[in-house]
Structure 1
């Protein structure tokens, strides 16, 4: 479980997901990229849940729970954005929500004890 609960592995998976998300938004027929992105969602969830379980030992369960919910909302909004785009419907609201929830999850992730402290 130590390998899955690695902060660097989790950050790597969501950076790859962001790259794939923007590639899928930019392409006209993103079916293959979208399926790879869905596989990456699973990796994000596995590593995120492993980090959540490890974070429960630090007596900050509520903040880690809020980070988990924000991360789930990021994934949900990314998926809804791509589905709306593929159906030809307006998707800008969901795209804005992706960024809002992403910055909430990013802030909580770096603020919590298992995150990376940029100011140290």
Structure 2
């Protein structure tokens, strides 16, 4: 099951959808639904980390440095998703966290696509 990236990609794809839903629910003023979606999203954060750790342990021997950097940027993406949602809830500015989120996501996605376990778009 964890010899490929299907479970990992599925969990982060669902997490991105849930994150977008949570942002839109917050903007619509639906606090209860936002809280429910955010709690489900937190479960997906754990699933992303778990599947990522399993993939990292099994396949980091291909290129340990790049897999390590991808792992760290993946954690940054999760942290920034959570920070954006928390700061939205508190009514604080989120521009910096959105910027870090987008940059970290681009780097993580690029490394994921570049490394040998994935599609090798950038080979």
How does the TM-score come out when normalised to structure 2? 0.89
Deviations 1:26-55 (A, max 9, x none): 113210000000000000001101111112
Contact 1:5–1:50 at 8 Å: present in 2 too?
no
Contact 2:113–2:119 at 8 Å: present in 1 too?
yes
Gapped runs of 5+ residues in structure 1? none
Gapped runs of 5+ residues in structure 2? none
Aligned-residue CA RMSD (Å): 1.5
2:54 is the counterpart of 1:50: yes
Equivalent residue for 1:39? 43
Q: How many Å apart are 1:6 and its aligned residue?
A: 3.0
1:57 is paired with a residue of what secondary structure?
coil
- Structure 2 distance, partners of 1:102, 1:5, is 23
How does the TM-score come out when normalised to structure 1? 0.91
Q: How many Å apart are 1:57 and its aligned residue?
A: 2.7
